[in-house]
Amino acid sequence: MKRRGQSMETKISLPQWEKDWNLQPMNLHGLMDEYLEMVSNHRNACLVLQFGFTTIFVAAFPLAPLLALLNNIIEIRLDAYKFVTQWRRPMPARATDIGIWYGILEGIGVLAVITNAFVIAITSDYIPRFVYAYKYGPCTDQGCLKGYVNSSLSVFDLSELGMGYSGYCRYRDYRAPPWSSTPYEFTLQFWHVLAARLAFIIVFEHLVFGIKSFIAYLIPDIPKDLCDRMRREKYLVQEMMYEAELEHLQRERKKNGKQYHHEWP
């Protein structure tokens, strides 16, 4: 353009596809990078890792999904700017789904349900309170928690330390007192609480998986109107093939001088 003496106005009026040629080319693994990386190469925060941390530890940090949502909103806009102003348009490739990533995300989802079930069952006081209220409490028919704190604390004899201490110390556990026939052994209440926690884990997992399967059943992979259009397209293609074959046979009959009839082959 400089050799031809064209002005800057002519350069500015270049078509868009010529302007896009000066952008950075998209590599063959561009989508792989988008799945793995976020905004820059210096910040290797994986989208799959973000999904895993958000779902697996949501019971420990309930604010994580909101932060992930805000992060993804910003990420979408940054990616849009990058695809429009920094990179060339990527070459399209036919794909039925997201490939192996679907299996990875499905596995992370299953692991997240199991992990959250264990976190809720082990770290929460709901199950020990429930067991005490309806099994060991003074009013099991009403489910009150009177005396729960005292029941959840075990007794330790300080004289067993051998350091000149005397008296008793209370600690949180379900163990027999030092004056019993089996001191510091797990009590029956401990095993009841443990069994209730395991039962909660099983019920929680089956409930979540059941809800997930029900929602997946309600939401089909292919919408009904799209299925109807696909069936119609298939029917039209078959009809076009029949018409083309009929026209071919009609031409052959005319060429050979045979009698012509309007009929399907």
Do 193 and 127 touch, CB atoms closer than 8 A? yes
- Short-list 140, 30, 139, CA closest to 87: 30
Structure tokens at 234: 């298939």
Distance CA 71, CA 1 (A): 44
One domain, residues 116 and 176: no
pLDDT at 40: 36
pTM of the model: 0.66
72 assigned to some structural domain: yes
| Counted domains in the chain | 3
Do 196 and 183 touch, CB atoms closer than 8 A? no
163 assigned to some structural domain: yes
Distance CA 177, CA 160 (A): 13
Specify the amino acid at residue 160. Answer: E
Q: Which domain holds residue 77?
A: 16-90+101-123
One domain, residues 233 and 157: no
Q: How many residues does the chain have?
A: 265
- Short-list 91, 79, 92, 85, CA closest to 24: 85
Distance CA 54, CA 63 (A): 9
Tens of pLDDT, residue by residue, the chain (265 residues): 556 655 555 556 777 777 777 787 776 655 555 555 443 333 334 678 888 888 988 888 889 899 989 988 998 898 888 888 888 777 777 777 777 878 888 899 999 999 999 999 998 888 999 899 888 888 877 778 888 888 889 999 888 888 878 888 999 999 999 888 888 899 999 999 999 999 999 999 999 999 999 998 888 888 888 889 999 999 999 999 998 888 888 888 887 765 555 555 4
One domain, residues 170 and 191: yes
pLDDT at 204: 93
One domain, residues 147 and 129: yes
pLDDT at 43: 39
One domain, residues 164 and 244: no
Q: Taking the mean position of all CA atoms in its chain, how far away is CA 20?
A: 36
One domain, residues 211 and 144: yes
Specify the amino acid at residue 82. Answer: K
One domain, residues 244 and 203: no
Token look-up 């920094």 returns 86
3-class DSSP string for the chain: CCCCCCCHHHHHCCCHHHHHCCCECCCCCHHHHHHHCCCCCCCCCCHHHHHHHHHHCCCCCCCHHHHHHHHHHHHHHHHHHHHHHCECCCCCCCCCCCCHHHHHHHHHHHHHHHHHHHHHHHHCCHHHHHHHHHHHCCCCCCCCCCCHHHHCEEEEEHHHHCCCCCCEEEEECCECCCCCCCCCCECHHHHHHHHHHHHHHHHHHHHHHHHHHHHHHHCCCCCHHHHHHHHHHHHHHHHHHHHHHHHHHHHHHHHHCCCCCCCCC
One domain, residues 20 and 114: yes
Residues 6+ apart with CB under 8 A from 205: 113, 114, 117
Structure tokens at 73: 């909103």
54 assigned to some structural domain: yes
pLDDT at 142: 77
One domain, residues 47 and 130: no
